[in-house]
Amino acid sequence: MERPTHLLLSASSFLVIFSSFMSDRAGVVLAQNATISVDVGVILDLGSMEGKRCRTSISMAIDDFYAAHRNYRTRIILHTRDSNQDDVGAASAAVDLLKNVQVQAIIGPQTSSQAEFVADLGSKTQIPILSFSATSPSLSSARTPYFVRATFNDSSQAGAIAAIVEHFGWRELVPIYKDSDYGAGIIPSLTDALQDVEARVPYRSVISPSASDDQLDKELYKLMTMQTRVFVVHMTRSLGSRLFQRAEQLGMMTDDYAWITTDGITDLLDLLDPTVIDSMQGVIGVRPYVPRSKEIINFTARFKARFRRENPTVEPTDPTVFQLWAYDAAWALAMAVEKVGAPSPVFQQRPSQIGNYSDLGKLGESQTGPKLLQAISKTRFHGLAGEFRLSDGQLQSSAFEIVNVNGKAGREIGFWNPVSRISRSPVSSKDRTGLKPVIWPGDSTMVPKGWQIPTNGKKLQIGVPVKQGFNEFVNVSRNPSTNEVTVTGYCIDVFEAVMQALPYALPYEYVPYDNVESYDNFVYQVYDKKFDAVVGDVTIIFNRSLYVDFTLPYTESGVSMIVPVKEDKSKNIWIFLKPLTTDLWLGSLSFFFFTGCVVWVIEHRINKQFRGTPSQQLGLIFYFAFSTLVFAHREKLESNLSRFAVIIWVFVVLILTSSYTASLTSMLTVQQLQPTVTDVNELLKNGEYIGYQDGSFVLGMLKRMNFGENKLRTYTAVDQYAQALRNGSAHGGVAAIFDEIPYLKLFLSEHGADYTMVGPTYKTDGFGFVFPRDSPLVPDVSRAVLSVTEGDIMTGIEKKWFGDQSASPSQSDSVSSASLNFQSFGGLFLITGVVSLLALLVFFAMFLYKNWKGATTSESSLWRKIVALAKYYDSKDLTSPTFKKKDEVIPNNGELNQNGHAQGAVILPYFDGSQSPMSISNHSDINFASPDEGMSSMDPGSPRIRFPRAEAFEELSEIRVERAV
């Protein structure tokens, strides 16, 4: 009984487990049947290594996406087609996918030329075309709205290339690019970017995709004959590999050259043959920068493992940025498909297409395409290559990595982004600017200068003018027997010193130019490419700079005039007045009088030396003030206010007299020579003749000054200048010579005793060396000019040809020293004026404070009060220590009256300051009561009797008194 029961229980358990398993299995099947399959085409060059790698990357993206999103209801089915590395093959594959599979979207193709036709198909059928490697700027969503660039535009790397050119100081660059839309697409952006850093493109080298080695050699030989030695290579990997191998064979991978590659080659360095890498040593490359994250490390390991399984005969390498973009493009498409779903029917023909039996006519338009395109455009996520976010139908560039081919691969040397420009770190930092050390072609660490004399052995042809005069600047002589040309002169020595200062050797030879009718025509020979440069006394002016480039000037600039000088004898008798200008004379006299008045006002009441008749006092004011000139004033000052004012004034007088003496001494010791003419307008007014150097641009300047041609005379030598000035306008000469300052300084060094440089200096830029427009030599030569002119070399050259010009009389030496003006002493006069005025105000304030009360308490009118104050001011201040003495009685014959007083004594009143000016004015006669009249001499209000000394009698006339009764 137990066994059958046991078997029954086992059977029951098995049925339950089996039913549960079948139920789960059915659920899985039902879930799979519920998903929506979406067909997506993939067009790749499966015969290339890059195509195989991209297929692996796309497949991994789809698998990873649905592994991470198992509950999504859509499933992308990939249909891969091989373009066979042909544009027609890509187009045929696209038609097959659209017609036979009716795909909802296409990923690819790889190249820009293939993508161009496929993009047109996509726009006609409303099928989104996602390209992860078509970087040509000629492809855009504006022209083909259903084209989506899941990569960067080639134009975005133009800024990085221009920044490299600027960093190394190169001025010219030659692009070498494939003859296709892909190759030419970057050129406009690159040219604009180079212009922003003041570099230019003198030549464009276009290489046919099918060019043979002989054709490559021919083009490279052509580049070798040019000066520019900086090249940017923008082409596919296969064509670029051949180009670098041929360049190495021709000797163009040496330290004279600099090569830059765009991302089309730089991104694929790991895939290049080792022999190609060897030929590219020293090349600088630019490629998009993708930080190496944990996700990329994980992806790289899985990618290499899967690629090895799918391609067992090929050794896998790390994925490039194109595989990362392919992965992100497939992931973005899967996200967009999930949002849109798959409506039915997928394709629908428009009425206009009915009856069209061609393959394209039968395709119709996708009903899903517009929604799918919109969903792709709005997709945002952080992918393997960074932030996936489309703008105007393409990814936006963020940063580029700069690598240097050294060894077996590229070595990172820096980064670039539009904000911080070039830096050693991807994170912006002020102390991390610049690039790491670069190994240039030829294993050199020295930066190539970017240009070189062409390799055809030709020397620079330097034009020099053949002149009849002023041979100190340029002198060309020929040996009659050998016809050998010898060129000497100041300009030649400067040029040769500059050539020695260059950091490299520059072969050149002088070529005389005999037909120097005008220096403008001479300079124009460089523009006509008859000379490589011009050296001589050539002035830098605007109209010439329109055709050529000048170096920095190496001489003093400007145009001035020279006139004869004559001794000025008519004004010698009044030379003592010339040290000071009229305004300073008048100002000094005014302050002399003002200071004297201030001292008199303060001292008049308390100092007997400042009293007397009006004429005496007026004379005292001038005498006291002017006596300070020689510090001969003997008047003793009683007030501290006047003393302080005089101390400051004496200090001013000391400085003024010292300056006057020094200026007068200078005028008496310098020869009194005056120019015959000082103003250009005077020459015009008098109709004088003017001289200038033959062939000089000064002719045009004189015409602009309104000098008529009939008043202009040309000369060619220094001696001719001197003779013409000696003769003067009236005797076949000229009144003035106009020329550039270097010529005038040469003239003065020989004839400076009788002539001087006067008038304004008309600005010019001096002498400079002439080169063709945009010549790469100009910056280096200009730096060498600075090096020469700032050192002792220039001084030695000037002394050699012009002598010691420091001993030559100058314009400032030939005329008298400048007179001193009021402005030079304005600060001193301001100080003494303020001090004197303050002293005067303090005095009046103290005077009014003591005496105003008596005047205001009176009932008299204002006028009488003022008169009373004036009379009181004119009287002595008996409270002053000068007049305040002990009271004395002056005896009359020594007799005393009956009251015990001396007979006939004179009683002097003593005012203690309690009396007001009004009490004085109301009592013109002062009566004194005697003790006999009932008032004691000791009573308050009674007059006190003083016995003045003998000298006090001299003052009695100042105060009216009565004799005591």
Window from 604-618, 793-807, 838-852, 905-919 with minimum mean pLDDT: 905-919
Of residues 564 and 806, more confidence is placed in: 564
Question: Pairing state of beta strands 400-406 and 394-395?
Answer: unpaired
Report pLDDT for 426.
82
- Alpha-carbon distance of 250 to 243, in angstroms, equals 11
C-beta separation of 745 from 562 below 8 A: no
Report pLDDT for 949.
44
Window from 371-385, 529-543, 841-855 with minimum mean pLDDT: 841-855
Mean pLDDT of 709-719: 90
* Percent of the chain topping pLDDT 70: 79
List the one residue out of 446, 334, 391 whose CA is nearest residue 156.
Answer: 391
C-beta separation of 531 from 463 below 8 A: yes
- The helix (H) or strand (E) run that includes residue 403 is strand 400-406
Instruction: Return the CA Rg of the chain.
Output: 53
Q: In the predicted model, what is the mean pLDDT of the chain?
A: 81
Phi-psi domain of 558 (left: phi exceeds 0; alpha: psi -120 through 50; beta: other): left
Tens of pLDDT along 544-564? 999 999 999 999 888 999 999
Mean pLDDT of 925-946: 40
pLDDT of 672 strictly over 70: no
Tens of pLDDT along 884-911? 654 444 444 444 444 444 444 444 444 4
- Alpha-carbon distance of 796 to 804, in angstroms, equals 10
pLDDT of 121 strictly over 80: yes
Per-residue pLDDT band for 59 (boundaries 50, 70, 90) equals very high
Window from 674-678, 705-709, 949-953 with minimum mean pLDDT: 949-953
Report pLDDT for 516.
77
Give the phi and the psi of residue 28 in degrees, each rounded to 5.
Answer: -65, -40
C-beta separation of 161 from 260 below 8 A: yes
Token pair listed for 465: 């003018």
Q: How many helices (H) and strands (E) does the chain have?
A: 31, 32
C-beta separation of 624 from 595 below 8 A: no
Tens of pLDDT along 419-432? 878 988 887 666 56
Report pLDDT for 906.
44
List the one residue out of 474, 303, 493, 285 whose CA is nearest residue 384.
Answer: 303
Mean pLDDT of 834-863: 76
Report pLDDT for 765.
86
C-beta separation of 918 from 861 below 8 A: no
Per-residue pLDDT band for 393 (boundaries 50, 70, 90) equals confident
Mean pLDDT of 394-403: 88
Per-residue pLDDT band for 220 (boundaries 50, 70, 90) equals very high
Report pLDDT for 843.
84
Maximum CA pair distance of the chain?
Answer: 190
Tens of pLDDT along 151-200? 988 899 999 999 999 999 898 999 999 999 899 999 999 999 999 998 98
Tens of pLDDT along 63-82? 999 999 999 999 999 999 99
C-beta separation of 743 from 139 below 8 A: no
- The helix (H) or strand (E) run that includes residue 738 is strand 736-740
Mean pLDDT of 349-361: 56
Report pLDDT for 957.
39
Report pLDDT for 909.
43
Tens of pLDDT along 742-777? 889 888 888 877 888 888 888 888 899 999 988 888
Instruction: Scan for tokens 């010529």, then name that residue.
Output: 743
- Alpha-carbon distance of 305 to 298, in angstroms, equals 11
Helix (H, G, I), strand (E, B) or coil at 921: helix
pLDDT of 944 strictly over 60: no
pLDDT of 580 strictly over 70: yes
Question: Pairing state of beta strands 381-383 and 409-417?
Answer: unpaired
Q: What is the DSSP letter of 257?
A: -
Report pLDDT for 89.
92
Report pLDDT for 894.
44
pLDDT of 280 strictly over 70: yes
pLDDT of 941 strictly over 50: no
DSSP E strand stretches across 292-362: 347-348
C-beta separation of 836 from 646 below 8 A: no
C-beta separation of 165 from 197 below 8 A: yes
pLDDT of 436 strictly over 80: yes
Report pLDDT for 805.
60
Report pLDDT for 350.
61
Report pLDDT for 922.
41
List the one residue out of 843, 850, 882, 884 whose CA is nearest residue 869.
Answer: 850
Tens of pLDDT along 479-494? 888 888 899 999 999 9
SS (H, E, C) 82-104: ECCCCHHHHHHHHHHHHHHHCCC
Window from 35-49, 216-230, 308-322, 611-625 with minimum mean pLDDT: 611-625
Window from 207-221, 339-353, 539-553 with minimum mean pLDDT: 339-353
Of residues 744 and 15, more confidence is placed in: 744
Q: Is 962 exposed, middle or buried (0-12, 13-18, 19+ CB in 10 A)?
A: exposed
Q: What share of the chain is helix, strand, coil (3-state, %, to 5)?
A: 45, 15, 40
Mean pLDDT of 12-36: 47
Mean pLDDT of 844-851: 80
Q: What is the DSSP letter of 636?
A: P
Report pLDDT for 25.
41
Report pLDDT for 29.
42
Report pLDDT for 69.
93
pLDDT of 27 strictly over 70: no
C-beta separation of 855 from 865 below 8 A: yes
* Percent of the chain topping pLDDT 90: 40
pLDDT of 329 strictly over 90: yes
Report pLDDT for 856.
59
Calculate the dihedral angle through the C-alpha atoms of 151, 401, 111, 124, rounding to the nearest 10 degrees.
20
Helix (H, G, I), strand (E, B) or coil at 590: helix
What contacts 799, CB < 8 A, 6 or more positions away?
Answer: none
Helix axis angle, 718-727 to 741-751, nearest 10°: 70
- Alpha-carbon distance of 553 to 785, in angstroms, equals 8
Report pLDDT for 633.
63
